[in-house]
Amino acid sequence: MNRLLLASTALAATCGLAAPLHAQDTDTAALRSQIEAMRADMERMSARLEELEAREAATAQTAATAAEVAQAASVAAEAAKSPVEVAWKGAPEISGKGGWSFKPRGRLQVDAGTINAPDSTGVEDGFGSEMRRARLGVQGDIPGGFGYKFEVDFAGGDAEIADATLTYGNGGLTITAGQHNTFQSLEELTSSLNSSFIERAAFTDAFGFERRLGLSAQYKTGDLLLQAGGFSDNFGDLPGKAYSLDGRVVYMPKLGDAQLHLGGSVHYTDLEGGDAVRYRQRPLAHFTSTRFVDTGSMPAYSETGYGAEAAIIAGQFHAVGEAFWQHVDRSDALPNADFFGGYAEIGYFLTGSDSRGYKNGVFDRVKPAHALGDGGIGALQINLRYDYLDLSDGPVIGGTQDGYMASLIWTQTAYTRLMLNYARLSYEDAVFPTLGGDASYDVDTIAIRAQVDF
């Protein structure tokens, strides 16, 4: 269009000049010179026009390219916004949009040690070892306030379900359905990953505390924690007709920098048609099947238990104690029986920046201030405990066990630890008398544990 306008203008100018030239009969050479000059001007104008058009096209192309680049960058940025986030909590925890999450979990605990009993008792003692726990499982969240946890233990050679729960949480309320711990004892509810000794206090095992299939509710408001539930049997004992009702109250205020714990619990178990119960306990270590205190099998219609708990964590120091009374309704023909167990413990961290963990009414994970491999040696902790169990009442002579125990714990990282335990167990009315008929004697146990979890 621009070139056509230029040519028309030049032609008009040429015609306008040619007429006077013919009319006035000017010199032909001068006319030719003017025409040549005009032609040169036209060529220069045409070249300039082409140059301008080329620049206009280049500018348009650059703008188009910039737009394409901007669009591509926007698409790449959107693609970079992954709907999945990954955090690290001993293992990868994967979180998705809407409240979904998934985390593998597991633990490995390997125990070994020696038990020394009087030779004339005839019991098997000496060295022992076992894979105490070898668990694998998963846990996570589901949109709407729901959560799940499923864990299987392979330590005994057969797969046994440990935890299998579905939870719903709303504010301070949590409802749990499935197999989980009943609300019996601070010691029992504290994970084996965070205990002070390789085995829990004697009464928790002797009185048969275990995970059971049930429905429970927990409510936390401020420093107060309320727990209650109804349970049947452990998955491994189903189908069953026994049921239990359990309740626990915990008051857990902070006193300055110190954490205080005061709790109480009550438990009732209805046994089907006079089923049998049996209370007994090992000499601390689980790798032996020998029990020096044992009531034997007793017919019973119900069990009623009462527990009291107290603990304090103040910097490197902690103290904890519990008492538990177990009443057994045997039958109309047999007298009822009452048994007792309890312990008192103190502990101290030799590494000055470390303290025992606590969360929601139980002891929690120790997280070394200076982990091994991160500029420190981890956390070193010593603990002393007196552990008492009385399984004798009236005609039932199950014996008594006084345990004097010490432990040294090296927590290298938040997910690894080594434990060294010593226990001197003093027995009265032990079920294995010596060759001379003495049922009062001492047994020594030394045990170690290597542990890792994720």
Residue range 60-107, pLDDT digits in tens: 666 556 667 677 666 555 555 668 899 988 899 999 988 999 999 999
pLDDT at 3 over 70: no
Query: Mind listing the pLDDT tens digit for each residue in 185-211?
Result: 999 999 999 999 999 999 999 999 999
Query: Mind listing the pLDDT tens digit for each residue in 138-187?
Result: 999 999 999 999 999 999 888 999 999 999 999 999 999 999 999 999 99
* CA–CA–CA angle 172, 320, 407 (5° rounding): 120
Structure tokens at 298: 């007793």
Query: How many percent of the chain have pLDDT more than 70?
Result: 87
Query: Mind listing the pLDDT tens digit for each residue in 307-334?
Result: 999 999 999 999 999 999 999 998 778 8
Residue spans per domain, the chain? 2-80, 84-453
Average the pLDDT over each of 21-35, 153-167, 241-255, 347-361 and give the range with the smallest value: 21-35
pLDDT for the residue numbered 59: 65
* CA–CA–CA angle 277, 280, 286 (5° rounding): 125
Average the pLDDT over each of 44-53, 192-201, 382-391, 435-444 and give the range with the smallest value: 44-53
Burial class (CB in 10 A: 0-12, 13-18, 19+), 333: exposed
pLDDT at 8 over 90: no
Q: How far apart are CA 94 and CA 70, in angstroms?
A: 32
pLDDT for the residue numbered 30: 72
pLDDT, average across residues 281-292 = 97
pLDDT, average across residues 350-360 = 97
Cβ pair 147, 140 in contact under 8 A = yes
pLDDT for the residue numbered 94: 95
Predicted TM-score (pTM) of the model is 0.81
pLDDT, average across residues 259-273 = 94
pLDDT for the residue numbered 14: 39
Average the pLDDT over each of 85-94, 209-218, 242-251 and give the range with the smallest value: 85-94
**Mean pLDDT, all residues of the chain:** 89
Burial class (CB in 10 A: 0-12, 13-18, 19+), 178: buried
Contacts 24+ apart (CB under 8 A), 128-131: 128/285, 128/287, 128/288, 129/287, 130/155, 130/286, 130/287, 131/155
- 287 forms bridges with which residues in the sheet? none
Residues 6+ apart with CB under 8 A from 88: none
Let me know if domain 84-453 sits in CATH 2.10.69.10: no
pLDDT for the residue numbered 63: 59
Q: How far apart are CA 252 and CA 300, in angstroms?
A: 36
Query: How many percent of the chain have pLDDT more than 90?
Result: 75
Closest Cα partner for 234 from 164, 283, 172? 164
Residues 6+ apart with CB under 8 A from 38: 10, 13, 14
